[in-house]
Amino acid sequence: MSDNGSSPEPHESPPEAEDRPDGGASRSKPRGKKKRKSTEARAATATTAGAGLVAAVRALARRREKKRVDPAADSAEADTSNLEAVAPEADAGDSLTERRAEARMGGGQDRIDAQHARGKLTVRERINRLLDPNSFEELGPFLEHRHTAFGLDRQRHAGDGVVTGFGYIDGRRVAVFAQDFTVLGGSFSETQALKVGRLLETATSSGLPVIALLDSVGARIQEGIWSLAGFGDLFWRNTQASGVVPQISLMLGPCAGGAVYSPGLTDFVIMARGSSYMFITGPDVIRTVTGEEVDAETLGGADTHAGGSGVAHFVADDENAAFDVTRQLLGYLPSNNAEDPPIVEAEQSIEPDTAELDNLVPEAAEEAYDVREAITRIADRHSFLEVHADFAPNAVVGFIRLKGRVAAVVANQPEHLAGVLDIDASDKIARFIRFADSFNIPLVTLVDCPGFLPGADQERNGIIRHGAKIVYAYAEATVPKVSVVLRKAYGGAYIVMSSKMIRTDVCLAWPTAEVAVMGAKGAVSILYARQLKQELPSKREAERARLEDEFEKQFNSPYAAAATGHIDDVIYPRETRARVVAALDFLKDKQTAAMPKKHGNIPL
């Protein structure tokens, strides 16, 4: 199949040896693709290469072959080079059209067929599916590498394995770079670094989101230090762009070795299940060094990084779904840190059913519920986009809209580990807060947390350091911050979860809220241990219940916290949406003045 933007039939074909990831990782069979209407529509209208593209490339190849076998022709043409510059039509066989056609073929038809055989789209098919139709403007299509070692002088391709340029997504400008696996396995080269570096520099200075479509075996080892130097430049540019423009990485194939640090530095990583892998060392290297047997999917597949490592923020069933997620995500983000997030007109936002919030929290304090039910009944209907859904499920983070305006929501999840904070949840929450603050997205926090997860493993692995990240992120954030205590807010967890003491702007609580050092049962067991021991056994439990009820009213009640100014108001659950919307409206022009400093030292 030619690189014409149409969807290939997915089936399995083993990659060539030179195209395999670092460590010679084997590939598991990718899942079949399910076409989506939105991407099909873009593909149908996208510019295609077709048979004319192939014919043009073949014509150029014949022209070059003629020059190779007839040196006299070369010398004769050299004498008329100036005339050809004035009248290019005199050399139709070497025209711009043919050069463009050759560049668009990447590594050639055989490699394109091999890419399709793996169930993967080509680089230009991917760009066509992602961007608005006919909106892509390419930069640097004719750049080639300058290296000759290990036969590289015989493997020069226009573009050198990466396509860079600008386009539109839903009418908004974006910068895109996409690796071409058909050219030397998409290996990262000195020339790739130059092209991508220029794109990132322009995107950052122009305030454009950057989207990376990654499909590469890693560094081009034939170029030696030049390839490694290119990685360093890319990482530096990723870092400079961080907090200035959103950066989104789509993993559509392998990403091995040092290459993994570029997506690791970006804001969001989206992985296509079954065809994308990320690891520093591949299965073969691990087997050689440690003797451990592990396949590529288990080591660095989409589900591993979504639920285990937390590297992946979203998992898509196929490439088309990954493009849909990217477009959806971008709809919540501003183009840069000097802009506000996109606003959906109020008449387009759909009011949720807030009445059911009154019955959401169970009467029994130990009974679980799904906090996402609260989120979806506070947000505009169908507006909740969960981030990191499979990682640290005891915390929920994501984007919502409130009367058409974007907000970032953070919530404890009682359905998992009773909503306690552990190491992974702390990292998940802190990083999301910092992203939202970087891009002017207000924070809404729903609190139901009994504390930090106890355990020797948590202590040894640094729960103190990781938990401190949440404190730092909330305390440093300057965007409007609103919190709502739904039920439990105990001890240190209450303080770190956007409390008044770390400068949250508006703190609300439901009547079911318990704001205290600990729950009434635990407190009574400690404070009244001697008194209860002296009670007759027949009266002990009744006395315990009386003391717990007394403690609850005096210390754990939301009204006690409101009386001391730690809670701004106690509200009915059904009032939550209206109160949060009103608070964010009053806070939308919030200004803060920070102490002058180079930067803080977050407890990483």
Four-residue CA torsion sign, 161, 110, 120, 60? positive
The answer to whether 492 is a known catalytic residue is yes
Q: Which of 59, 203, 493, 523 is catalytic?
A: 493
Q: Which of 492, 560, 578, 582 is catalytic?
A: 492
Which residue in the block uniquely carries the two structure tokens 């002058």? 596
Give the contacts of 602 (CB within 8 A, at least 6 positions apart). Answer: 469, 472, 473, 476
Measured CA angle at 410 (ends 321, 437), to 5 deg: 90
From the centroid of its chain, how far is CA 322? 11
Q: Which of 185, 258, 274, 519 is catalytic?
A: 258
One-letter amino acid for residue 386 of the chain: E
Give the contacts of 345 (CB within 8 A, at least 6 positions apart). Answer: 404
- Strand ranges inside 471-590, DSSP E: 481-490, 506-509, 514-516, 569-570
Distance CA 540, CA 89 (A): 103
Measured CA angle at 130 (ends 127, 131), to 5 deg: 85
Distance CA 308, CA 538 (A): 50
Nearest alpha-carbon partner for 57 in 178, 192, 157, 162: 157
| Other C-beta atoms lying within 10 Å of the C-beta of residue 180 | 28
Q: Which of 257, 282, 331, 467 is catalytic?
A: 257
Rg (CA), the chain: 29
The answer to whether 257 is a known catalytic residue is yes
Are 103 and 95 within 8 A, CB to CB? no
Residues forming the active site: 257-258, 492-493
